[in-house]
């Protein structure tokens, strides 16, 4: 697999580099250059590509794992892997019929799904994401219901105890959710404890749970456990997940939908 200038794909060396850093925690640039028999400039370019995808964090003289306690800024996530998120969003939207009820959660991938749903009719959408509400409100056939709670300025997300209580009032057809990380053991991970509790309420009150996550989320660190892959009904992503994740999905009877780049794109 080749890597384009935006780092949208990982080449073999970058995948091996990521595995090495995950094993050791931190690796110096010079050590990586010797290991892969390339120049330090090449290693720096690889590190930059991996950092853009949120997979590594650059430190003086080397690279380590991305933070497990702090997500990337919302403005960075808005532009990161936008094309991949849009493809995933279209795949999700194809599975949502008219006249359905659904939760849509926080996150830029969830917002992409909202944009892909704007041509549907008579949806009933409950959300704690003001950006999602703003995207959907122009469709006059929709009923958009906003959760109460505390509004976070950084991403217009609504969280808190009032949000949890609000979500527990509903039982909907679908939950469309994003996630910050999917661990190799099937754990679904996020950064904000308050946001996680809202997600848990959403999962518990949906008849079908659709998880929309691009390939950078596989193996990504985040410190708070949301739940397990076994709790979802379908995973929508842009690249084949690791073998272990695929096995967990199969064991749980969950569907896997891939939204790869079109040929020549």
Indicate the helix (H) or strand (E) that contains 195: helix 193-204
pLDDT tens digits, 220-245: 778 899 999 999 999 999 989 989 99
The reply to whether CATH 1.10.10.10 applies to domain 12-65 is: yes
Model pLDDT, residue 66? 66
Q: What is the pTM of this model?
A: 0.74
> Tokens for 21?
């850093």
Question: Taking the domains of the chain in order of start, what are their residue ranges?
Answer: 12-65, 74-258
Pairing status of strand 143-146 against strand 124-127: parallel
pLDDT tens digits, 25-84: 778 899 999 999 999 999 999 998 888 777 787 777 788 766 555 555 545 554 567 889
Model pLDDT, residue 235? 98
Q: Which CATH number fits domain 74-258: 3.40.50.2000, 2.40.50.320, 3.40.50.1360, 1.10.8.640?
A: 3.40.50.1360
pLDDT tens digits, 183-231: 889 999 998 888 899 999 999 999 999 999 998 888 877 889 999 999 9
Model pLDDT, residue 72? 55
Distance CA 35, CA 127 (A): 48
Do the beta carbons of residue 32 and residue 20 sit within 8 Å?
yes
Dihedrals phi, psi of 144, to nearest 5 degrees: -110, 125
């Amino acid at each position: 697999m080749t890597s384009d200038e935006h780092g949208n794909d990982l080449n073999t060396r970058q995948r091996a580099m990521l595995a090495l850093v995950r094993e050791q925690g931190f690796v110096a640039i010079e050590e990586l250059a010797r290991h892969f028999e390339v120049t330090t400039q090449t290693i720096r370019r690889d590190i930059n590509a991996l950092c853009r995808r949120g997979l590594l964090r650059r430190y003086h003289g080397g690279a380590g794992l991305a933070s497990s306690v702090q997500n990337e800024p919302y403005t960075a996530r808005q532009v990161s892997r936008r094309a991949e998120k849009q493809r995933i969003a279209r795949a999700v939207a194809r599975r949502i019929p008219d006249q359905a009820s659904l939760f849509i959660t926080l996150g830029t991938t969830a917002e992409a799904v909202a944009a892909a749903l704007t041509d549907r009719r008579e949806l009933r959408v409950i959300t704690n994401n003001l950006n999602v509400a703003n995207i959907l409100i122009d469709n006059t056939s929709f009923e958009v219901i906003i959760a109460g709670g505390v509004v976070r300025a950084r991403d217009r997300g609504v969280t808190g105890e009032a949000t949890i209580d609000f979500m527990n009032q509903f039982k909907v057809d679908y939950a469309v959710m994003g996630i910050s990380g999917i661990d190799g053991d099937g754990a679904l991970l996020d950064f904000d404890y308050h946001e996680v509790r809202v997600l848990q309420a959403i999962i518990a009150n949906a008849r079908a749970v659709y998880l929309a996550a691009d390939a950078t989320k596989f193996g990504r660190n985040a410190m708070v456990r949301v739940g397990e892959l076994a709790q979802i009904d379908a995973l929508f992503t842009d690249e084949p997940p690791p073998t272990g994740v695929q096995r967990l999905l199969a064991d749980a009877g969950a569907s896997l939908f891939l939204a790869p780049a079109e040929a020549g794109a």
